């Protein structure tokens, strides 16, 4: 019987709906029953999830990773800590040393709330800083001020929290307003984060500033600059969008990238259960009721995912069959400084990460 020791929980409300964000969320109204409805959703989906696990012959092991994403999990507040603490106690155990992460919007926290979460095991925080430039925090439609970002960063630094920062690149008007990412990075680094997630802004066609986005060359320079800057300071660029000091990689996200079992609850939460002989099941929760959509993956699909996911990370991809054409391709990638082929494994570097989609096309052309 396969065991699952990781759980993602999607918390679907936000204080404000930022105009660039595609994650599933609803505007939070403190006078509504949203939180109670969410609790109801979790309880109902737990029952449905139990059935799924029986069907798939999967059982729970003590949790090694628990990740609260959103939306804005920090808005769940002390009420959330009380609910989840009891809820977990009745159903699951956290193993000793489990990584328990919560995403926090800098405008939605208090010391009381963080203490309540710490008491139920929270030990890692992912802070949605995005930018530390006063012009860009406005352009990015964030509801929090820079002072609120600084005060959370200060608190985490002073109280020895293990925390990660989200930092956005490729922002609209970056050239016109001469965004200085080095200054922003230095300020962020002064709080000594152990982990940084670096996202290139993905703008939909209806994004209000879609006509003012920087070009690909500008974004490429920003990305490579940040990567080199952080690597010089000892950070490892261990995944396309993630940097960590050694030992501080996100254990939870590693499970996804390594194709291991991750359960999920909460609207749009997506879980993955690998099975024998290259089969796997992916499932996603619907938003209006505790029902899920299932997607069965066969050996071809999981093999392709394995290539894509291992190339995204510094584990690298070890092809089972190293054909002369593949060897030739890897040599070309090395010459172009996309990555390194050693001991039967191809590992991409920052330039390779940036080119990942076109490198996948190279592989498809070889019939992989």
Ligand X SMILES: C[S@@+](CC[C@H](N)C(=O)[O-])C[C@H]1O[C@@H](n2cnc3c(N)ncnc32)[C@H](O)[C@@H]1O
The reply on whether position 20 binds ligand X by CB under 6 A is yes
The reply on whether position 59 binds ligand X by CB under 6 A is no
Q: Which of ligand X, ligand SF4, none lies near 17, with the C-beta cut-off 5 to 8 A by kind?
A: ligand SF4
> Among residues 87, 105, 117, which one has the least CA distance to residue 145?
105
Window 119 to 138, contacts with ligand SF4 (CB under 6 A): 128
Q: Which of 1, 22, 29, 51 binds ligand X (CB under 6 A)?
A: 22
Handedness of CA 171, 174, 176, 180 (dihedral sign): positive
Q: In angstroms, rounded to a whole number, what is the distance separating the alpha carbons of residues 268 and 255? A: 19
The reply on whether position 133 binds ligand X by CB under 6 A is no
The reply on whether position 274 binds ligand X by CB under 6 A is no
Site string for ligand X, 94-113 (x = CB under 6 A): ---------x-x--------
Is residue 332 within 8 A of residue 339, CB to CB? The reply is no
Q: Which is nearer to ligand X, 131 or 313 (CB)?
A: 131
Size of the site for ligand X (CB under 6 A): 17
Both tokens of 327, joined, read 């060897």
Shortest Å, Cβ 342 to ligand X: 32
DSSP 294-360: EEEE-HHHHHHHHHHHHHHBTT-B--SS--HHHHHHHHHHHHTTSEEEETTEEEE-HHHHHTHHHHH
Q: Which of 10, 28, 56, 105 binds ligand SF4 (CB under 6 A)?
A: 105
Q: Which is nearer to ligand SF4, 70 or 271 (CB)?
A: 70
DSSP E strand stretches across 71-135: 94-104, 124-130
Shortest Å, Cβ 103 to ligand X: 4
In the bound state, the residue with its beta carbon closest to ligand X is 128
Q: In angstroms, rounded to a whole number, what is the distance separating the alpha carbons of residues 344 and 245? A: 26
Please list, in sequence order, all residues whose beta carbon lies within 8 angstroms of the beta carbon of residue 121, skipping any fewer than 6 positions away.
Answer: 66, 94, 98, 100
Q: Which is nearer to ligand X, 125 or 297 (CB)?
A: 125
The reply on whether position 184 binds ligand X by CB under 6 A is no
Backbone torsion region of residue 210, taken as left when φ is above 0, otherwise alpha when ψ lies between -120 and 50, otherwise beta: alpha
Q: In angstroms, rounded to a whole number, what is the distance separating the alpha carbons of residues 226 and 224? A: 6
The reply on whether position 25 binds ligand SF4 by CB under 6 A is yes
Both tokens of 132, joined, read 């530390």
The reply on whether position 150 binds ligand X by CB under 6 A is no
Residue with tokens 């092809």: 319
The reply on whether position 70 binds ligand X by CB under 6 A is yes
The reply on whether position 172 binds ligand X by CB under 6 A is no
Q: Which residues contribute to the site for ligand X (CB under 6 A)? A: 14, 20-23, 69-70, 72, 103, 105, 128, 130, 166, 168, 199, 201-202
Summarize as ranges the residues that interact with ligand SF4 (CB under 6 A): 14, 17-18, 21, 23, 25, 70-72, 105, 128
């Amino acid at each position: 019987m396969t065991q699952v020791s990781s759980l993602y929980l999607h918390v679907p409300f936000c204080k404000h709906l930022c105009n660039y964000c595609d994650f599933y969320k609803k505007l939070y109204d403190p006078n509504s029953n949203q939180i109670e409805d969410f609790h109801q959703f979790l309880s109902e989906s737990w029952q449905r999830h139990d059935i799924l696990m029986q069907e798939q012959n999967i059982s729970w092991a003590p949790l090694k990773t628990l990740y609260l994403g959103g939306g804005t999990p920090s808005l769940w507040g002390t009420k959330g800590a009380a609910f989840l603490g009891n809820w977990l106690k009745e159903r699951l155990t956290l193993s000793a040393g489990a990584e328990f992460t919560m995403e926090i919007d800098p405008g939605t926290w208090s010391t009381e709330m963080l203490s309540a979460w710490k008491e139920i095991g929270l030990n890692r925080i992912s802070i949605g800083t995005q930018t530390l430039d006063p012009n860009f925090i406005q352009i990015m439609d964030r509801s929090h001020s820079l002072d609120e970002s600084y005060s959370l960063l200060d608190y985490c630094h002073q109280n020895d929290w293990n925390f990660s920062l989200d930092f956005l690149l490729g922002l609209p008007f970056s050239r016109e307003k001469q965004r200085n990412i080095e200054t922003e990075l230095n300020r962020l680094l002064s709080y000594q984060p152990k982990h940084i997630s670096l996202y290139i802004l993905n703008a939909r066609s209806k994004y209000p500033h879609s006509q003012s986005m920087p070009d690909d060359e500008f974004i490429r320079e920003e990305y490579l600059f940040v990567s080199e800057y952080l690597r010089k300071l000892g950070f490892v660029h261990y995944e396309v969008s993630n940097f960590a000091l050694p030992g501080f990689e996100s254990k939870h996200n590693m499970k996804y990238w390594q194709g291991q079992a991750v359960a999920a609850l909460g609207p749009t939460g997506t879980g993955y259960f690998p099975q024998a002989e290259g089969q796997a099941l992916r499932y996603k929760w619907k938003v209006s009721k505790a029902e899920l959509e299932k997607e069965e993956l066969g050996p071809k699909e999981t093999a392709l995912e394995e290539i894509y996911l291992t190339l995204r990370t510094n584990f690298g991809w070890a092809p089972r069959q190293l054909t002369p054409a593949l060897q030739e391709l890897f040599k070309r990638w090395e010459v172009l400084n996309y990555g390194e082929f050693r001991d039967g494994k191809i590992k991409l570097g920052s330039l390779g990460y940036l080119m990942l989609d076109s490198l996948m096309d190279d592989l498809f052309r070889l019939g992989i």
